[in-house]
Amino acid sequence: MRTKNTFSVHFWVKPTNEKVNQGIIYARITVNQRRVLVSLKRKISFDLWDSSKKKVKGTSSEAKQINHYLDSTKARIFQCYQDLNSSGKKITAQLIKATYLGEDENSKSLQNLIDYHSRKIEHTLSPGTIKNFKITEGYIFKFLKKEKKTTDVYLRELNYKFLCDFEDFLGSYYPKGHPKAMGHNTIMKHIQRLRKMVTLAYNMEWIDKDPFRRWKNTFEKKDREFLSVGELSNLETYEFPVERLDRVRDLFVFSCYTGISYVDIMKLTKDNISIGLDRNKWIISKRQKTNTPIKVPLLEPVMEMIKKYEEHPMTIVSGTLLPKITNEKLNVYLKEVAILCGIKKILTFHMARHTFATTVTLSNGVPIETVSKLLGHTKISTTQIYARVLENKISQDMNALRGILKQKKDEDSTQNPNVAS
């Protein structure tokens, strides 16, 4: 049963701390004899205020403007009361104030959402993914400051135009230290992360409509660089004059024959080496990025490398399977490695994972389902990004097909000698 509320809105002027004949206009909301004050942030001289009529005296343009604002404010507060009354909520003066100021549970801001999302992913996502979200958040706030001239917006203000404007902003923004603006796929990644946050708000009923419902992320297909058989062979056999570069090469080659990423290689220890069902040695671990299992049988080059660093001073101190090095230094040193080995491609450590997927496994006939498991992917579509059918593999397969077709034709000719060729 709904109870009847007493409700009223009045205006009054509260003196300021300044020693002048001036005050600030407040709206006083009363519900069931409980009151709250809402500052209208309008100053007025006490001489111009009619305390009995609760309005500004006179017919000047200033008086008309303020009185019109008071009427509009009263109407908006009354509408808040009506909306809350229709929803069947227990109405209080504080709730009406919060609704009017956009501070109620149904009027969350983008900052509220980002704060909540940050707390939510703090212990569930990998440090790298969290870092990427932080970068996106930084661009969101830069966009609000530059394009919207504000520091925050209500979630109900998010719409299709907001997304288009954000995309345009990212497209023309030059990140510090970068020689050019962001690429299309980078822009789509930032919008994709914003979408994940907004979808969370929609699912929690912080917003009534999903502003992304008509939005479609579009990614340009990019070729992933990898080392060819010849380039990998040159890298493996080159004798480096500096031990530092020799260690970097070994880490890269280790990834080329296991498909394991940098962050997961750095945490490998002897405890991650196990004997599999086939009685051979396997690496058993988990991907830091997705927490999915890593189960990779050890190929001969990997076995040799593990043995090489078994008693190395760096691995003894760190307790790891291979020498540790920061990802930044590793990628810097790989540039030197590429120059010495005559590799013209921009060598990065992640290229080793591409090389494993393409040159080492798929081009040697390993099924993509197996490669997907070895890489620790949860979806085979992710593996297809790395995988490419090489021209020499196409040539081998077609030559095999020619042989099969010729054999069938010869058999048919033997069985049916009267059939014209």
Least confident of 106-110, 157-161, 189-193, 348-352: 106-110
Residue with tokens 């345009």: 168
* Interval 11-48: pLDDT, tens: 989 887 666 788 899 999 999 989 999 998 888 888 89
pLDDT of residue 18: 64
What's the mean pLDDT when you consider all of the chain? Answer: 87
Least confident of 213-222, 227-236, 360-369, 381-390: 381-390
pLDDT confidence bin for 219, thresholds 50/70/90? confident
Do residues 319 and 231 make contact, with C-beta atoms less than 8 angstroms apart? no
pLDDT of residue 103: 66
pLDDT confidence bin for 90, thresholds 50/70/90? confident
Q: Which amino acid is at 236?
A: E
pLDDT of residue 83: 81
pLDDT of residue 318: 93
Predicted confidence (pLDDT) at residue 252 exceeds the cutoff of 80:
yes
Residue with tokens 């809350």: 84
pLDDT of residue 1: 41
Rounded (5°) CA angle 50-52-57: 20
* Interval 161-199: pLDDT, tens: 999 999 999 998 887 766 677 889 999 999 999 999 999
- Looking at the domain that runs over 229-388, which CATH code has it been given? 1.10.443.10
Residue 106, CB-side half-sphere exposure with 13 Å CA sphere? 11
Residue with tokens 């009361």: 81
Q: Which two tokens stand for residue 266?
A: 């750095």
Instruction: Give me the CATH topology for the region 110-203.
Output: DNA polymerase; domain 1 (1.10.150)
User: To the nearest 5 percent, what fractions of the chain are helix, strand and coil?
Assistant: 55, 10, 35
Q: Please state, in angstroms and rounded to a whole number, the distance separating the CA atoms of residues 50 and 70.
A: 13
Predicted confidence (pLDDT) at residue 228 exceeds the cutoff of 70:
yes
In degrees and rounded to multiples of 5, residue 86 shows phi and psi of -70, -30
pLDDT confidence bin for 421, thresholds 50/70/90? very low
Q: Which amino acid is at 51?
A: S
Virtual torsion, Cα 301, 306, 308, 310, nearest 10 deg: -170
Question: Which of 215, 96, 198, 93 lies closest to 153 in space, CA to CA?
Answer: 198
The pTM (predicted TM-score) of the whole model is: 0.60
Mean pLDDT of 213-238: 87
CB contact set of 28 (below 8 Å; sequence gap of 6+): 9, 10, 11, 12, 35, 36, 37, 38
Task: Name residue 39's beta-bridge partners.
Answer: 26
pLDDT of residue 253: 96
What is the Cα Rg of the chain in Å? 34
Mean pLDDT of 86-100: 82
Q: Which two tokens stand for residue 196?
A: 């994940």
Predicted confidence (pLDDT) at residue 243 exceeds the cutoff of 80:
yes
pLDDT of residue 393: 65
Do residues 404 and 389 make contact, with C-beta atoms less than 8 angstroms apart? no
Predicted confidence (pLDDT) at residue 419 exceeds the cutoff of 60:
no
Q: Which two tokens stand for residue 183?
A: 């690429």
